[in-house]
Amino acid sequence: MTDTATHPLYQVDSFTKKPFAGNPAAVCLTEGPADEVWMQRVAAEMNLSETAFLHPGDDGWNLRWFTPALEVDLCGHATLAAAHVLWNERGSTNEPLRFSTRSGGLTARRLDHPHGSIELDFPIRAQEEVDDHWTAERLALALGESPVYLGRSMEDYLAVFDDPEKVLGLRPDIKQMRAFTIRGVIVTAPSRGEEWDFVSRFFAPGAGIDEDPVTGSAHCCLGPYWAARFDRDELVGYQASKRGGRVGVKVCGERVLLRGDAVTIIRGELTG
């Protein structure tokens, strides 16, 4: 990577049909593998919850995701943004799009579907109940409310509440939450409306993000949990951050199909 290198760069709002909602991600295209230190510096410069880096691979595209603080293993909204950029900004005709990532092979397909025009095929993030009362008490103290159920996936805690208003009203102590050696905490409750089935929020101070606007990877855990609760495999979730976003979910065995829309906000060029 030289000082005079330039790279196509886009900012995309994911899991929304309108600008300035959903979750913003940067998408940077490079000709080949990029230096990790450089990618981390770019992600810190963009200062979004995720920056995706794409370059051509043997069977599609190589894809990596960085927060302003670190590289992550799985990211839904930046993958959605990457697929949107390849189809709508770069003119790709590949169907499906194939991505090689730290979480294995992922695919994206275009849809004509009410819950999203792009469908991502992601791995399930199964969770199990936490049987540690001390941890549960510490987390309840950090959240400011006691969940009716606490689970843990390989990356996150899952805190379930019985009332969506409790999820919307949470004002967690982020400093206390940083003490947990996990990526983040998913909080969720069943919805009382008909537009979606459940609501959620996601706090990830361990990854450098106090609250993520809309988190596709969290729905890899939320999907199977609520599918079992509602006894059906197709659901719609609403992530109730300030920006807000809707995620369609379909559970298929050990995979989760995430459905959403995206809109380009910025088209540009990265120098350096």
Contact residues for 22 (Cβ-Cβ < 8 A; gap 6+)? 13, 14, 15, 16, 77, 213, 214, 243, 244, 245, 260, 262, 263
Partner residues linked to 98 by β-bridges = 107
The topology under which CATH files domain 6-113+260-271 is Diaminopimelate Epimerase; Chain A, domain 1 (3.10.310)
Distance CA 51, CA 27 (A): 6
The reply to whether 6-113+260-271 and 128-253 are identical in fold is: yes
Global model pTM greater than 0.85: yes
**CB burial class (10 A; 0-12, 13-18, 19+) of residue 148?**
exposed
Give the domain ranges of the chain.
6-113+260-271, 128-253
Q: What is the pLDDT of residues 25-67, one digit of tens each?
A: 999 999 999 999 999 999 999 999 999 999 999 889 999 999 9
CATH architecture observed for domain 128-253: Roll (3.10)
Distance CA 41, CA 51 (A): 10
Distance CA 30, CA 265 (A): 20
Closest to 120 measured CA to CA, from 96, 88, 92, 154: 96
Q: Which residues are tagged catalytic?
A: 50
Answer yes or no: is pLDDT of 2 > 60: no
Q: How confident is the model at residue 1 (pLDDT cuts 50, 70, 90)?
A: very low
**CB burial class (10 A; 0-12, 13-18, 19+) of residue 159?**
buried
